[in-house]
Amino acid sequence: MLIIALVDDSFIKGRISVEGGKRARMRALTRQKILQTALALFAERGYFGTTIDLISKRCRISKGLIYHYFTNKQDILVAVLEEGLRAGYDLLKGLEDIPDPFQQFAVMIERSFDEMLRNEAYWRLYFHVLLQPGVLELFAQRLTAFYQESIQYFVLLFRRMNVTNAEIEARLLTAMLDGLGLHYFLVGRDFPLAAVKNAIIQRYSRPLDGNVDR
Amino acid sequence: MLIIALVDDSFIKGRISVEGGKRARMRALTRQKILQTALALFAERGYFGTTIDLISKRCRISKGLIYHYFTNKQDILVAVLEEGLRAGYDLLKGLEDIPDPFQQFAVMIERSFDEMLRNEAYWRLYFHVLLQPGVLELFAQRLTAFYQESIQYFVLLFRRMNVTNAEIEARLLTAMLDGLGLHYFLVGRDFPLAAVKNAIIQRYSRPLDGNVDR
Amino acid sequence: MLIIALVDDSFIKGRISVEGGKRARMRALTRQKILQTALALFAERGYFGTTIDLISKRCRISKGLIYHYFTNKQDILVAVLEEGLRAGYDLLKGLEDIPDPFQQFAVMIERSFDEMLRNEAYWRLYFHVLLQPGVLELFAQRLTAFYQESIQYFVLLFRRMNVTNAEIEARLLTAMLDGLGLHYFLVGRDFPLAAVKNAIIQRYSRPLDGNVDR
Amino acid sequence: MLIIALVDDSFIKGRISVEGGKRARMRALTRQKILQTALALFAERGYFGTTIDLISKRCRISKGLIYHYFTNKQDILVAVLEEGLRAGYDLLKGLEDIPDPFQQFAVMIERSFDEMLRNEAYWRLYFHVLLQPGVLELFAQRLTAFYQESIQYFVLLFRRMNVTNAEIEARLLTAMLDGLGLHYFLVGRDFPLAAVKNAIIQRYSRPLDGNVDR
DNA sequence: TATGAATGAGCCTTCATTCAT
DNA sequence: CATGAATGAAGGCTCATTCAT
């Protein structure tokens, strides 16, 4: 769960800018409420299944007011995606404090799976929405940047773990994580997530055993 | 690229039933034309971006006729997904003829990457559409069945390759393949597909070295 | 239940013209089958809720064939109404054999209520369809003729029963009968039909008591 | 003309709520305009013959706006029927001020016939629409309630008029009134309404003669 | 006689967006 | 800043009717 930003109900709330007058604070507050509601609705009903009217009603504000904060429905989507990305960065950053690379790796994987389970609906949304023709373009740069940063993170980590071919390995791992999320979403509930997670941690764990045991 | 069925412009064309009278043949022909056009348009513009009117115009048939062949716009989508699934099965089946499991594995991976490149737009569609809230339900059973079969295929193959923990390994591999497709689509063109592909083949190749070299 | 023709499942079947060759007989047969089916469907789903396609499928004939027998959907409707009218005439005619006018009257009322209960759906259809703007015009003459004849029947009967002002009385009675049907349909099942029926028979029965007892 | 609510062009106009701000007043105004137009069009062309487009054009508003006030085309219909019912209640209420029951009865009958003539098109609509399969269900409760109330009114009146068997008698009378309306609509213009009306008044008038004179 | 594929006009409904208040 | 009435383009879908076979 790397490329796709991890979102939960709280991550938007906490970010209200405190600077500025009362006016500005109110404005930021309303904006965040819209974003939060849109996020929940997009996740719940899809982008096309969510109407501006529905968002406004759930926010208990008027439809017109939404257009004071966002120019477009699409604009809301982009903002939502951006917030998600920020949450994704958070996920990465928190890990740097763990000194042992193997342990850090294990925690990263654990956290990744945890987030996937907690915010399943958001994941679906992100995958779904970014694969929509025309949407990716709006967001490609930032997404790519985040992807690069994630890869970089694992490259550095893998080097400390003495994994050879660290870059390719990083790409494979992140792909595997997102792919597992995808499959978990698509093939349903009886997916052996715990076993899979442990296998991943095992594979990269000290001492340097092969990933595929024979 | 396993879960998501692989589709290209030709695979539908070839399946026109030859039995039956002229009527039945015509009917099948029209149906296939609709499916084919819908597939292309869905891939090109997304499911919601594609209108029935557009499909009918591209097919040079009347709007109403489409509803002689499909009950719904959604019904067309499901049919498209089904066709894709069939192509997915085809992909698997062809491989059984290769006697050496390691070579078979390599071919499978190669083919998988090839298909991904050839039908990129369809891949996007499949991911996109299946992640749409409400759509998965229409298709969940068949998709799960196909997933199970894919896993089973790799389990058997891995056993012949003396890979321990074959089931988990199969899940990891298929996830990795789909995840790579996803990342390739999302982060753009400069993705080192060839290198990644080779690394995968390498990892599972004889002699039994570990997957992660240190 | 006088103005509105009384219809049951059998009344059309029995009327296939026996003259003519095999061809003509087949033709009449198909025509009757269409009419019968249309009648049932109109009653069940209303005129607008019934499609030509549905009629053809229930008849197990093609859509096109219907247009060999009827020029229009409307044409079918008119034919159905005509058949109903014929049944209405039948209802009246059968009564003339009863010599005692009071008994004849009682039987007529009984039969009228019986029919209403047996063919409720058809009744609804007739009322419904004839009140549709534009439909009545197609059928007005025949309906008026039938109404006149019904009135005439009661006028003659009432005269034999020594009812003064027989014509007005006939109009009131037939209106009452149809009105009761209407109310029965509209206000539901707990309508005291039996009591009402008996009251009517009572009112016109020998010896000449007043209709409204004080 | 009791069960079926009596409606004319004016009764909706008069009910615009005066409370509330300008917004609310405007809203009520538009709603009434839609209802009024729909009523006229339904009566004129039938429910199915009336399109939303037509209603909106006659109202000089956009098609979409109609759906701000009503969820459905059917919803408009129900609202129209409700208004009609209200008019029906009004018809009953006004009568209570007349002290002499016989005179009250006569006025009631007169008024009933008057209304029938004034709003013939609406009557047709009501009969027509309520007999449409599936429509009655939407409205059954309210209609039944009104019917019961009408019956109750006549029961009380008849008791004061010393009519025995007042309940049955009330059912017969209301049925007769609606039946006469139906016949008047169906068999055309030369129906002797005045004579029929007088006969009814006569029948229930003091002194206590029998209804059927011999 | 019989079929059913094909048409196309038209219907109900949705919804992002605007704007007067 | 805030409202929500109003717009209008467009979309999915229906269905009576036609016609080549």
Write the residue in A3, A168, A180 that is nearest to B196 by C-beta.
Answer: A168
Q: Does residue B145 belong to the interface with chain A, where contact is any CB pair within 8 Å?
A: no
Instruction: Give the DSSP letter of residue D165.
Output: S
Other CB atoms closer than 10 Å to residue A125's CB: what's the count?
A: 29
> Cα angle at A95 between A91 and A96, to 5 degrees?
130
Q: Does the distance separating the beta carbons of B124 and A131 come in below 8 Å?
A: yes
Q: Does residue D133 belong to the interface with chain C, where contact is any CB pair within 8 Å?
A: yes
Give the per-residue pLDDT at A19.
Answer: 55
CATH assignment at residue D24: 1.10.357.10
Instruction: Give the DSSP letter of residue C96.
Output: G
**With a 7 Å cutoff on the CB, does C51 touch strand F?**
yes
Give the per-residue pLDDT at A20.
Answer: 59
Give the per-residue pLDDT at A14.
Answer: 43
Give the per-residue pLDDT at C20.
Answer: 60
Nearest residue to nucleotide F1, by CA–C1' distance, is A65
**Residue A149 within a domain:** yes
Q: Does residue C132 belong to the interface with chain D, where contact is any CB pair within 8 Å?
A: yes
Q: Does residue B174 belong to the interface with chain A, where contact is any CB pair within 8 Å?
A: yes
Write the residue in B179, B191, B209 that is nearest to A210 by C-beta.
Answer: B209
**With a 7 Å cutoff on the CB, does A202 touch strand F?**
no
How sure is the predictor about C19, in pLDDT bands with cuts at 50, 70 and 90? low
Q: Does residue B202 belong to the interface with chain A, where contact is any CB pair within 8 Å?
A: no
Give the per-residue pLDDT at D64.
Answer: 96
**With a 7 Å cutoff on the CB, does B25 touch strand E?**
no
Q: pLDDT tens digits for B161-182?
A: 999 899 999 999 999 999 999 8
Give the per-residue pLDDT at C51.
Answer: 96
Residue A213 has pLDDT above 60, yes or no: no
**Residue D3 within a domain:** no
Of D187 and C208, the one with more pLDDT: D187
Q: pLDDT tens digits for D152-165?
A: 999 999 999 999 99
When mean pLDDT is compared across A81-85, A164-168, C51-55, D4-8, the lowest value belongs to: D4-8
Nearest residue to nucleotide E1, by CA–C1' distance, is C65
Q: What residue numbers bound the domain in which B185 lies?
A: 9-203
Percent of chain C surpassing pLDDT 70 = 86
Q: pLDDT tens digits for A11-64?
A: 444 444 445 577 777 888 899 999 999 999 998 888 899 999 999 999 999 999
Residue C96 has pLDDT above 90, yes or no: no
**Residue B67 within a domain:** yes
**Residue B213 within a domain:** no
Residues 70 through 99 of chain A touching chain B, CB cutoff 8 Å: none
**Residue A101 within a domain:** yes
SS3 of chain A: CCCCCCCCCCCCHHHCCCCCCHHHHHHHHHHHHHHHHHHHHHHHHCCCCCCHHHHHHHHCCCHHHHHHHCCCHHHHHHHHHHHHHHHHHHHHHHHHHCCCHHHHHHHHHHHHHHHHHHCHHHHHHHHHHHHCCCHHHHHHHHHHHHHHHHHHHHHHHHHHCCCCCHHHHHHHHHHHHHHHHHHHHHHCCCCCHHHHHHHHHHHCCCCCCCCCCC
Total domain count for chain D?
1
Give the per-residue pLDDT at D206.
Answer: 60
Give the per-residue pLDDT at B149.
Answer: 92
When mean pLDDT is compared across A180-194, B111-125, D67-81, the lowest value belongs to: B111-125
Chain C residue numbers touching D187 (CB-CB < 8 A): 3, 143-144, 147-148
| Chain F, protein-covered positions (CB within 7 A) | 1-21
Of C115 and D18, the one with more pLDDT: C115
Distance C138 CA to F18 C1' (A): 25
Write the residue in C147, C162, C203 that is nearest to D183 by C-beta.
Answer: C147
How sure is the predictor about D19, in pLDDT bands with cuts at 50, 70 and 90? very low
Give the per-residue pLDDT at A4.
Answer: 39
Contact C204, C161 (CB under 8 A): yes
**Residue A153 within a domain:** yes
SS3 D13: helix
SS3 D20: coil
Chain B residue numbers touching A209 (CB-CB < 8 A): 210
Q: Does the distance separating the beta carbons of C175 and D212 come in below 8 Å?
A: no
